[in-house]
Amino acid sequence: MLMPDEDARPGIKLEFIRRQKGISRKELADKLEIAPGALFNLENGFNPIHFDDALKLGNALDVEPDIFIDESARFCASGYGEKIRIIRRACDATQEEFSKMIGVTRSTLSCWEAEIGEYHPSSVFYYKLKEIAEEKNIDINRLNSDPDSFIDDYELFLTGDYGKKIKYIRSAYGVTQTEFCNMIGYTSGTSSCNWESMTEKPLRKAYNRIKFVAEAKGIDINKLNANPDYYKDEYSRFVEKNSGAKIRYIRLQYRAFTDDFGKMLGCSGNAVCTWERGQCIMGRQYFDELKKLAEAKEINLESLDDNPDVFKDDYDRFCVTGCGKKLRYIRNICGMSAEKYAEVIGVSRQTIFIWESELVQRGTIRRPGRENFEKIKQVAIEHGIDLDTIDEELAKVDDYEVFCQNGFGAKIKSLRNVYGMSQRAFSELVGVSVETISRWEREGKVRGKIAFPSKERFREFKRLAEEKGVDFLESC
Q: Read off the pLDDT of residues 330-359 as tens digits, 9 standing for 90 and up.
A: 888 888 888 889 999 999 999 988 888 888
For 114-136, what is each residue's pLDDT tens digit? 988 767 888 889 889 999 989 98
Phi, psi for residue 445 in degrees, rounded to 5 = -110, 150
Q: How confident is the model at residue 61 (pLDDT cuts 50, 70, 90)?
A: confident
Mean pLDDT of 232-260: 84
Q: Return the pLDDT at 179.
A: 83
Q: Return the pLDDT at 5.
A: 67
pLDDT at 83 over 80: yes
Q: Return the pLDDT at 473.
A: 65
For 133-180, what is each residue's pLDDT tens digit? 899 888 888 888 888 788 778 888 888 788 888 888 887 887 778 888
pLDDT at 245 over 80: yes
Q: Return the pLDDT at 212.
A: 92
Mean pLDDT of 8-19: 80
Q: Return the pLDDT at 406.
A: 65
pLDDT at 106 over 90: yes
Mean pLDDT of 285-292: 90
For 256-285, what is each residue's pLDDT tens digit? 888 999 999 999 999 998 888 777 788 888
Mean pLDDT of 302-311: 66
Q: Return the pLDDT at 131.
A: 93
Instruction: Kindly give, in sequence order, each residue whose CB lies less than 8 Å from that of residue 280, ignoring residues fewer than 6 positions away.
Output: 174, 175, 176, 179, 271, 274
Q: Return the pLDDT at 84.
A: 92
pLDDT at 475 over 70: no
For 374-398, what is each residue's pLDDT tens digit? 899 898 888 888 887 887 777 655 6
Spatial contact of 420 and 427, defined as CB atoms under 8 Å apart: no
Cα-based angle 358, 360, 364 (whole degrees, multiple of 5):
105
Q: Return the pLDDT at 6.
A: 66
Q: What percent of the chain has pLDDT over 90?
A: 13
Q: How confident is the model at residue 240 (pLDDT cuts 50, 70, 90)?
A: confident
**Among the listed ranges 154-163, 174-183, 361-370, 436-445, which one has the minimum average pLDDT value?**
361-370
- Higher pLDDT, residue 107 or 315: 107
Instruction: Kindly give, in sequence order, each residue whose CB lies less than 8 Å from that of residue 259, ignoring residues fewer than 6 positions away.
Output: 268, 269, 272
**Among the listed ranges 112-116, 211-215, 411-415, 470-474, which one has the minimum average pLDDT value?**
470-474
Domains of the chain in sequence order: 10-69 (1.10.260.40), 75-151 (1.10.260.40), 155-232 (1.10.260.40), 237-312 (1.10.260.40), 317-393 (1.10.260.40), 399-467 (1.10.260.40)
Spatial contact of 409 and 442, defined as CB atoms under 8 Å apart: yes
| HEC secondary structure over the chain | CCCCCCCCCHHHHHHHHHHHCCCCHHHHHHHHCCCHHHHHHHHCCCCCCCHHHHHHHHHHHCCCHHHHCCHHHHHCCCCHHHHHHHHHHHCCCCHHHHHHHHCCCHHHHHHHHHCCCCCCCCHHHHHHHHHHHHHCCCCHHHHHHCHHHHCCHHHHHHCCCHHHHHHHHHHHHCCCHHHHHHHCCCCCHHHHHHHHCCCCCCCHHHHHHHHHHHHHCCCCHHHHHHCCCCCCCHHHHHHHCCHHHHHHHHHHHCCCCHHHHHHHHCCCHHHHHHHHCCCCCCCHHHHHHHHHHHHHCCCCHHHHHHCHHHHCCHHHHHHCCCHHHHHHHHHHHHCCCHHHHHHHHCCCHHHHHHHHHCCEECCEECCCCHHHHHHHHHHHHHCCCCHHHHHHHHHCCCHHHHHHHCCHHHHHHHHHHHCCCCHHHHHHHHCCCHHHHHHHHCCCEECCEECCCCHHHHHHHHHHHHHCCCCCCCCC
Q: Return the pLDDT at 424.
A: 92
For 36-55, what is each residue's pLDDT tens digit? 888 888 788 777 777 778 88
pLDDT at 104 over 90: yes
Q: Return the pLDDT at 265.
A: 93
What is the chain's mean pLDDT, rounded? 83
User: What's the whole-model pTM score?
Assistant: 0.42
Q: Return the pLDDT at 128.
A: 93
